């Protein structure tokens, strides 16, 4: 059957289901059922049961609920307050002053939470009132927080990287390690923008607090010690080859519980709330992955991914041209779908053409995360924009305008990844291996 005809049927069914308000996972299952019933002779029910069980029972997927739970536990601690106390004295002398606490705070919390929304909310609940009281421009308070909050998707542990690794059967540990340098580079780009603003608009920079001595800064820095130890335990165990991603996630949960207990914020209600929050998020993601696995099987039977990959191959696009086209593609679909849905929905088609072009799949995973980060701050469905709207009570379009410079900085990050692929490949190529990592 004509591939264009198949594509139209799949897309019309998908957008009809999504537009009707059906859950993304059910929409994926519905499209897959249509494909199996119309274009194959295999029993759709049997195929769905087998595929869903296989997709949901991946060992790599066990890291997902553990990392989500770790972030949920830390979200309910005094971590945001402690981070601001620990970071503010060190940021006060930088160009742009305390605005850097948003970026550095999000970078630190991203290393113990795989969620963009949790990262932004945790840092923002303390930083927003503090920065407002000191007279920093509202647009930069919102912009830096919305932009830096996306680092929760890049810096390990990243939920998006776990889902990507499970989808294409790639090492989660390698993907985690690959995200470190690009994540830090993106954070430096954000900090560079804040510094540039302070040089070009010196009149908007508020007066700083009285300077502290080095010893006083060290005294404030003690507030960062618990979370830094947790980061070392989680990421250090992976990079040193001592633990797989799942084992490191277990260390992280234990460490987060100990941190919450030491702060006096761990009680039975907060324990229950964090556990149920992790269960709900994990079930949502697992459900989407089940639907995506069945859709991949259905599309495989129709031959559509192979046909589209062959069509792309006939165009003889260079790897750079292919990446440019995929960047635009993911930005567009990211305006309407969340990041995890974007990844699982497209991998069945995109993976064969990317492998065919000779593009490293670890590098491509980091590229995917950067363009998914862009989607977090682009209307109409930019999730970070809605979170910021709820935290600041501004209109969604105002929040989007504040975040726009950081969208362009992410475009610069894509260009840097293309120009210097070693940003994503150097660390995983030189990391120690663990069995099952």
DSSP classification of residue 223: G
The predicted pLDDT at position 363 comes to 95
Q: Is 362 domain-assigned?
A: yes
Interval 128-176: pLDDT, tens: 888 888 889 999 999 999 899 888 888 888 888 888 888 888 888 899 8
* CA–CA dist 374, 331 (Å, integer): 7
pLDDT band per the 50, 70, 90 thresholds, residue 86: confident
Q: Is 8 domain-assigned?
A: no
Percent pLDDT > 70 in the chain is 87
pTM to 2 decimal places: 0.79
Whether 248 shows a pLDDT value over 70: the answer reads yes
Q: Is 2 domain-assigned?
A: no
* CA–CA dist 66, 174 (Å, integer): 18
Over range 275-291, report the average pLDDT: 80
Interval 347-368: pLDDT, tens: 877 888 888 788 899 999 999 9
SS3 265: coil
Q: Is 232 domain-assigned?
A: yes
Interval 249-273: pLDDT, tens: 888 889 889 888 888 888 888 889 8
Q: How many residues does the chain have?
A: 437
* Pair 382, 338: CB distance under 8 Å: no
The predicted pLDDT at position 406 comes to 93
* CA–CA dist 58, 292 (Å, integer): 14
Q: b/e map of 239-248 (b: 16 or more CB within 10 Å)?
A: beeebbbbbb
Range of 340's domain?
60-430
* CA–CA dist 153, 406 (Å, integer): 15
Location of structure tokens 């761990």 = 266
Q: Is 3 domain-assigned?
A: no
DSSP classification of residue 92: T
Q: Is 10 domain-assigned?
A: no
Location of structure tokens 């209109």 = 395
Long-range contacts for 209-218 (Cβ within 8 Å, ≥24 apart)?
Answer: 209/88, 209/92, 211/92, 211/93, 212/89, 212/92, 216/89, 217/89, 217/90
Q: Is 32 domain-assigned?
A: no
User: Is the peptide bond between 157 and the residue preceding it cis, with omega within 30 degrees of 0?
Assistant: yes
Domain count, the chain: 1
CA nearest neighbour of 102 among 133, 140, 155, 156: 140
* CA–CA dist 241, 177 (Å, integer): 11
Q: Is 51 domain-assigned?
A: no
Over range 205-234, report the average pLDDT: 81
* Pair 128, 392: CB distance under 8 Å: yes
Location of structure tokens 């060992």 = 59
* Pair 70, 112: CB distance under 8 Å: yes
Whether 308 shows a pLDDT value over 80: the answer reads no
């Amino acid at each position: 059957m004509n591939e264009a005809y198949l594509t139209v049927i799949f897309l019309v069914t998908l957008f009809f289901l999504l537009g009707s308000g059906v859950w993304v996972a059910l929409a994926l299952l519905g499209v897959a059922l249509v494909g199996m019933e119309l274009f194959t002779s295999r029993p759709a029910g049997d195929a769905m049961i087998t595929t869903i069980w296989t997709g949901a029972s991946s060992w790599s997927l066990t890291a997902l609920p553990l990392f989500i739970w770790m972030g949920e536990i830390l979200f309910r601690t005094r971590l945001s307050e402690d981070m601001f106390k620990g970071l503010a004295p060190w940021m006060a002398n930088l160009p742009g002053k305390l605005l850097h606490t948003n970026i550095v705070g999000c970078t630190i919390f991203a290393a113990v939470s795989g969620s963009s929304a949790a990262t932004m909310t945790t840092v923002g609940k303390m930083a927003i009132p503090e920065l407002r009281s000191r007279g920093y421009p509202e647009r930069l308070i919102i912009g830096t927080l919305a932009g830096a909050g996306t680092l929760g998707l890049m810096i390990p542990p990243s939920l998006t990287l776990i889902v990507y690794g499970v989808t294409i059967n790639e090492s989660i540990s390698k993907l985690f390690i690959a995200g470190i340098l690009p994540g830090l580079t993106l954070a430096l780009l954000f900090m560079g923008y804040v510094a540039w603003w302070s040089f070009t608009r010196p009149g908007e920079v508020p007066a700083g607090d009285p300077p502290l001595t080095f010893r006083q800064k060290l005294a404030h820095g003690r507030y960062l010690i618990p979370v830094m130890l947790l980061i070392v335990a989680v990421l250090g165990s992976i990079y040193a080859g001592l633990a797989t991603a799942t084992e490191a996630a277990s260390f992280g949960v234990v460490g987060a519980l100990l941190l919450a207990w030491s702060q006096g914020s761990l009680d039975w209600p907060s324990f229950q709330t964090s556990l149920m929050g992790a269960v709900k998020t994990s079930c949502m993601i697992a459900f989407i992955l089940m639907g995506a696995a069945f859709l991949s099987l259905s599309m495989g039977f129709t031959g559509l991914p192979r046909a589209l990959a062959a069509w792309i191959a006939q165009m003889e696009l260079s790897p750079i041209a292919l990446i440019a086209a995929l960047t635009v593609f993911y930005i567009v679909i990211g305006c309407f779908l969340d990041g995890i849905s974007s990844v699982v929905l497209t991998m069945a088609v995109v993976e064969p053409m990317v492998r065919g072009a000779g593009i490293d799949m670890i590098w491509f995973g980091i590229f995917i995360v950067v363009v998914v980060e862009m989607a977090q701050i682009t209307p109409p469905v930019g999730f970070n924009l809605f979170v910021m709207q709820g935290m600041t009570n501004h209109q969604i379009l105002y929040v989007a305008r504040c975040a726009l410079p950081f969208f362009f900085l992410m475009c610069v990050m894509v260009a840097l990844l293309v120009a210097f692929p070693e940003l994503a490949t150097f660390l995983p190529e030189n990391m120690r291996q663990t069995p099952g990592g």
